[in-house]
Structure 1
Amino acid sequence: MQPYQGLPRPQRTWAILTVFCGLVMAVLDGSIANIALPSISRELHADPARTIWVVNAYQLTVTVCLLPLSSLGDILGYKRVYRVGLATFLAGSVLCALSVNLPMLVAARVLQGVGGAGIMSVNTALIRFIYPPTKLGRGIGLNALVVGVTIAVGPSLGALILAIGSWPWLFAVNIPVAIFALAISRGALPETPAQPREFDYPSAALSAVVFGLFILGVDGLGHAPLRLAGASGLVLAVVLGWLLVRRQHGKPAPLVPVDLFASRAFTLAVGTSFCSFMTQMLAFVALPFYLEYQLGRSLQETGLLITPWPLMVAVMAAVSGRLSDRYPASILAGAGLVMLTAGLIGLAVLGKDASSFDIAWRMALCGLGFGFFQSPNNRAMIGATPRERSGGASGAQATTRLLGQTTGTAVVALLFSLDRSGAARLALYVAATVAFAGAVISLSRLRDGRPAASSSAAAEPDA
């Protein structure tokens, strides 16, 4: 049989546009609501502390639903799960825009989260069927570029929408995009082979409990009154997680993809990914405090000085994606994380007399390193798995990202609760340490004795 060559043009262009539309909405709605929390609190007459659940409900729902929905993608086909995810996200967006009280808005955000998980759980799996193996890195690089740009412009876009309209418009803007993506997805997205088998409902419920307890437990550690409850939740999550893994062993295509961790390349790519996203969130949460309180910058200056990081991620993501089709992911990702480590240490040692240029080029170095890491590592993670398990790999990739970000946020909160005065600078040193650990994990892949990126393309099984 001929090797799989992906979709023909122009179907490939329309398919990737559909995927990117869904991805932009799912990523944007994970952060854009933050800026509207004060407005939501005022207009819905809600306690400000309770309005945080407008953000938490979405993030928690996405995380607990990723692996079950990626498993459904393997069973039913990735196109079907993606389109249902789009439709669910559309319904959730309509309900968010029409919400008249906080409970209704939070419930609508949960529905949005289910849709967002449907989109993100099979996003990378679809890219694997859209592009031929020799251009998989390019597709994943473009995917990372879209995520980077969305994250970079998210706060500014949210502020612009709120400047000309009220908070419901933050959700209403999704409606035409989702309708457009749904309309073109029917004929554009590839039909992927379904694998008829029973969906593991008990494991899906147990995985939701495990990840929910983990996220709430990690978050609780950062708040002194909740620290004991958070630690208890983490212990229970570990115990139930162990039971969940035992339940998955021996199954041909488990809901929690423990079978994929038999691949050393996949395992090391997951470890590298967790370290990198934990690093990114440690830095992103700590940097505003560091720039304002330690270096004496204004709120406006802080926003501008952080901008080089996500911009460089967006620029480098596509470049490193193309490079990952030719060079080993272990070297590219490892070199990127070494650059990220150097940038973070450079930021941490700055004094109050540091110029804006001193700060900006270090931010750019961090973004350059993170962008250089992301696409090659994602390509290695996907390329190390059989095509029929692309859904499990895609779900694992998205889950690792969210767990890393959650852990990074919690560590910063914990550091602030222990030592408020020096916590921001210390968080940057911790971030640099985690990034260096990720670099070591990535470079350890060189012991396999073969280029992880180029061989994965050659090893793609026929369609």
Structure 2
Amino acid sequence: MILSTIVLVVLDGAIANVALPSIALSMQADAGSTVWVVSAYQLAVLVAILPCGALGEIYGARRVFLAGVALFTAASAACALAGNLPVLVVARFAQGLGGGAIMALAMMNLRAVVPERSLGPIIGVNAMVIAISAAAGPGIAGAILSVTQWPWLFAVNLPLGAIVLIGGRLLGKMERADRQLNTRALLVNTLMFILFFCGTERIATAPVTGVALIAAALACLAALLRLERGSRTPIIPTDLLAEPAFRVAVIASVCCFSGQMLSYIALPFYLQHSYRMSPVLAGLYMMPWPIATAIIAPISGRLANRVKTAWLCATGGTLLAFGLLIIGFAPSDPHAIAFLTGTVISGFGFGLFQTPNNRILLLSAPKARSGAAGAMQGTARLLGQTLGGISMSIIFTLLPISIALETAILTASACAAVASVVSLSRGRYEVAGKA
């Protein structure tokens, strides 16, 4: 049931991009305005994920998780019924708030019902489900749009959301934290992510404004840390970040997801520019990456109980870096065999890295702080993907496309290599399967 809600959120993020042209045509909106259908969702997830982790610890992971599912489902109905673009954007923002609660508390709910020794395989299955959902999203969206209108892309969420809400009582319970949410800290956290998101959106087109907004976001971060100084359970989990295993896992995750996002943006351009492929064919050539990730993720989860996380993550990061180098710098061939080989290796490396890294991040936190750990896991992923997107925008702005694509692939490989090195640094204090 928990995995089904993750499918719900991942699929919704994947299919919305495909629907943008149809939405723009239906609502007679320009492309720039329509992009906010995607951006509003992403912004809401960023704003919600850390506070929802804290709310789950205070009021119960099950209660807040199901509230997120209810909000996500209701907002999906509002999206399907939206008659104009502003209403759709607001509904998408509400969807993102619900999605943030789901992402933050999925792992906390899993930890309540799954023995710790089984967490590795379960997290592996979770990674497999995410990979398959992300890969299938565009195809599902295309199939739906081929027979009906875009509102049905959101309406399909309603039955699954209802099933999860009906079965919600099956979720386990965890002890609640004896504390209250700091309202001022919550407001500063919200402002911080809004400024950061708006700054990253403008960094390529208006660098001065973008840098100023990001600087303001950093000032909010400093204020937030000062507000929560001395708190045993802060919104930004500085108590958990003080633990070496948790801190290393977060840093490595940011680096790995930065490389992944750079790759996912650059590679379709690379295929269409260097190999003269159509967008449809380029999409097919991208498929081996998520397929390879889906295959290796559950295997990696089982290995995590027997092999040191440092070794598994370092190997995964190295494979990801090596696969990207093959893609970008192997001699070209008519059938793009080198590209396919590189994407398979990259996909295996990404899956081999993510499962043990996420497992050790979760297990490094006490059960009572599982909400904060799950929220930080999601934040690390979103932050890495955002940094990857910023890097790609800057590279495209500064360099001609042929040089920009090679630079982006090399940068993505370097990010994966850094994730590998960072992961190795925890080997001196780690035992197999533990932090």
TMscore range, shorter length: over 0.9
Say if 1:215 and 1:403, in contact at 8 Å, map to a contact too.
Answer: no
Shift of 1:246: 2.1
Q: What does the per-residue CA deviation read over 1:265-296, in whole Å, with 9 as the maximum and x for residues that have no partner?
A: 10000000000111100000000111111232
SS in 1 for 2:13: coil
Does 1:379 pair with 2:362?
A: no
| Residue number in structure 1 paired with 2:232 | 252
Shift of 1:31: 2.4
Shift of 1:192: 1.4
Q: How many residues are paired up?
A: 434
| Residue number in structure 1 paired with 2:217 | 237
Measured in 2, the distance between the counterparts of 1:212 and 1:134 equals 38
Q: Are residues 354 and 266 of structure 1, via their aligned partners in 2, closer, same or farther at CA, if it must alter by over 3 Å?
A: farther
Does 1:47 pair with 2:26?
A: no
Relative to structure 2, which stretch is displaced further, 348-357 or 330-339? 348-357
State the AA in 1 paired with 2:404. A
State the AA in 2 paired with 1:204. L
Shift of 1:249: 2.3
Measured in 1, the distance between the counterparts of 2:253 and 2:176 equals 28
Shift of 1:228: 1.0
| Residue number in structure 1 paired with 2:406 | 425
Q: Output aligned runs, 1:133-144, within 5 Å.
A: 133-144=116-127
Q: What does the per-residue CA deviation read over 1:355-391, in whole Å, with 9 as the maximum and x for residues that have no partner?
A: 3322111110000000000100000101111110000
State the AA in 2 paired with 1:48. A
Q: Aligned to 1:146, which of 96, 119, 129?
A: 129
Shift of 1:45: 1.2
| Residue number in structure 1 paired with 2:418 | 437
Q: Output aligned runs, 1:282-293, within 5 Å.
A: 282-293=262-273
CA RMSD of aligned residues (A): 1.1
SS in 2 for 1:445: coil
Measured in 2, the distance between the counterparts of 1:281 and 1:220 equals 18
| Residue number in structure 1 paired with 2:115 | 132
| Residue number in structure 2 paired with 1:395 | 375
Q: Aligned to 2:286, which of 306, 314, 321?
A: 306
| Residue number in structure 2 paired with 1:27 | 10
| Residue number in structure 2 paired with 1:10 | none
Shift of 1:74: 0.6
Measured in 2, the distance between the counterparts of 1:172 and 1:305 equals 30
Measured in 2, the distance between the counterparts of 1:439 and 1:166 equals 44
Say if 2:331 and 2:338, in contact at 8 Å, map to a contact too.
Answer: no
| Residue number in structure 1 paired with 2:345 | 365
Measured in 2, the distance between the counterparts of 1:199 and 1:445 equals 33
Q: Aligned to 1:60, which of 33, 38, 43?
A: 43
Q: Output aligned runs, 1:45-444, within 5 Å.
A: 45-186=28-169, 188-223=170-205, 226-353=206-333, 355-421=335-401, 422-444=403-425
| Residue number in structure 1 paired with 2:434 | 455
Shift of 1:27: 1.4
Shift of 1:143: 1.1
Say if 1:54 and 1:106, in contact at 8 Å, map to a contact too.
Answer: yes
Shift of 1:32: 1.1
After the TM superposition, which segments of 4 or more aligned residues of structure 1 sit over 6 Å from their partners? none
Say if 1:85 and 1:116, in contact at 8 Å, map to a contact too.
Answer: yes
Say if 1:344 and 1:431, in contact at 8 Å, map to a contact too.
Answer: yes
State the AA in 2 paired with 1:362. G
| Residue number in structure 2 paired with 1:9 | none
State the AA in 2 paired with 1:73. G
Say if 1:222 and 1:412, in contact at 8 Å, map to a contact too.
Answer: no
Say if 2:5 and 2:164, in contact at 8 Å, map to a contact too.
Answer: yes
Say if 2:326 and 2:338, in contact at 8 Å, map to a contact too.
Answer: no
Measured in 1, the distance between the counterparts of 2:145 and 2:73 equals 21
Q: Are residues 384 and 229 of structure 1, via their aligned partners in 2, closer, same or farther at CA, if it must alter by over 3 Å?
A: same
SS in 1 for 2:132: helix
Shift of 1:243: 1.6
SS in 2 for 1:218: helix
SS in 1 for 2:23: helix
SS in 2 for 1:30: helix
Measured in 2, the distance between the counterparts of 1:364 and 1:203 equals 43
- Name stretches of at least 5 consecutive residues in structure 1 with no aligned partner: 1-17, 457-463
Relative to structure 2, which stretch is displaced further, 199-208 or 369-378? 199-208
- Name stretches of at least 5 consecutive residues in structure 2 with no aligned partner: none
Say if 1:249 and 1:258, in contact at 8 Å, map to a contact too.
Answer: no
State the AA in 2 paired with 1:38. P
Shift of 1:298: 2.5
Shift of 1:222: 2.2
SS in 1 for 2:173: coil
Shift of 1:351: 4.0
Measured in 2, the distance between the counterparts of 1:352 and 1:317 equals 30
Measured in 1, the distance between the counterparts of 2:372 and 2:210 equals 29
Say if 1:20 and 1:146, in contact at 8 Å, map to a contact too.
Answer: yes
